[in-house]
Amino acid sequence: MTKLSVNINKIATLRNARGGNIPNVVQVAKDIESFGAEGITVHPRPDERHITYQDVLNLSSALTTEFNIEGNPITKFVNLVLQVKPAQVTLVPDKEDAITSNAGWDTVKHKTYLKEIISVFKENNIRTSIFVDPDPEMIRAAVETGADRIELYTEAYAVSYAKGEKQGVMPYAECARIAHELGLEINAGHDLSLDNIKYFKQQVPHVDEVSIGHALISESLYTGLEKTIQQYLKLLK
Ligand SMILES: CC(=O)[C@@H](O)[C@H](O)COP(=O)(O)O
Ligand SMILES: NCC(=O)COP(=O)(O)O
């Protein structure tokens, strides 16, 4: 079964727009859990443009489902994750000024670095996932970093699907098979949506978790959070 982890970055974007506490990020996260989501994902960026480090601390004591914290493992991020000890940390090679996540790790070039960082989280019993492009070479090298999971970066799939190029899913299916054979668990995320999730789920085997935020929150503006989440859960069955 593929679990749904809802990324609530954009709830914090709306909250920050007015500088107050509406919408209340912690309350929305708890409500999302009550609507059936199996996890909450946040990506506290260095500039705290949406989720703040304080949000992460507040959420950590309030959530009852899996907490997944994503980010580039700069020192303050590592310290935050070790303080919170979430179910999962997802390492993303984002530049500080990136408008959003836009690349996976080069797990060949950064193998030693990733191995060192991942060992710290594993010593603290935190599941580790690394954000990667659907490239078999990157998947094979990911095993040597000691990561528990990979997260397939699905923007390229979303773009190809939107253009009607369904063959864009093929690298993901191939990489999922390779990862599974190598003993890696598999997550996926970025630009997944109600339009493209069903085909991805049908074509890509062994996906343990998808983390979805931008599209889900946008779709919720029309159909509400509860109904939108239940639509995703139905498509992920
Ligand atoms: C890793 C990933 O693809 C998403 O979590 C992305 O980081 C979303 O970040 P923004 O919400 O800042 O676009
Ligand atoms: N890891 C992907 C994620 O958490 C959400 O990405 P998006 O759905 O906001 O593009």
Contacts of residue 86, Cβ cutoff 8 Å, sequence gap at least 6: 60, 66, 67, 68, 69, 126
**Per-residue pLDDT tens digits of the chain, which is 237 residues long:** 899 999 999 999 999 999 999 999 999 999 999 999 999 999 999 999 999 999 999 999 999 999 999 999 999 999 999 999 999 999 999 998 899 999 999 999 999 999 999 999 999 999 999 999 999 999 999 999 999 999 999 999 999 999 999 999 999 999 999 999 999 999 999 999 999 999 999 999 999 999 999 999 999 999 999 999 999 999 999
88 lines ligand 2 (CB under 6 A): no
Nearest CA to ligand 1 atom 7: 101
- Integer Cα distance of 214 and 105 in angstroms: 21
Which tokens hold the place of 106? 């080069």
Pocket flag, ligand 2, residue 10 (CB < 6 Å) = no
- As annotated, the active-site residues are 43, 70, 190
Q: Which two tokens stand for residue 181?
A: 């054979």
- Supply the pTM of this predicted model: 0.98
| C-alpha to C-alpha distance for 200 and 171, rounded to whole angstroms | 11
Query: To the nearest whole percent, how much of the chain has pLDDT over 70?
Result: 100
The share of the chain scoring above pLDDT 90, in percent, equals: 98
Q: Where are the beta strands (DSSP E) in the chain?
A: 3-7, 39-42, 66-71, 88-91, 127-132, 149-153, 185-189, 207-212
Per-residue tokens: 107: 């797990």
Question: In whole angstroms, what separates CA 16 from the centre of its chain?
Answer: 21
Report how far residue 149's alpha carbon sits from residue 118's, in angstroms, rounded to the nearest whole number.
Answer: 11
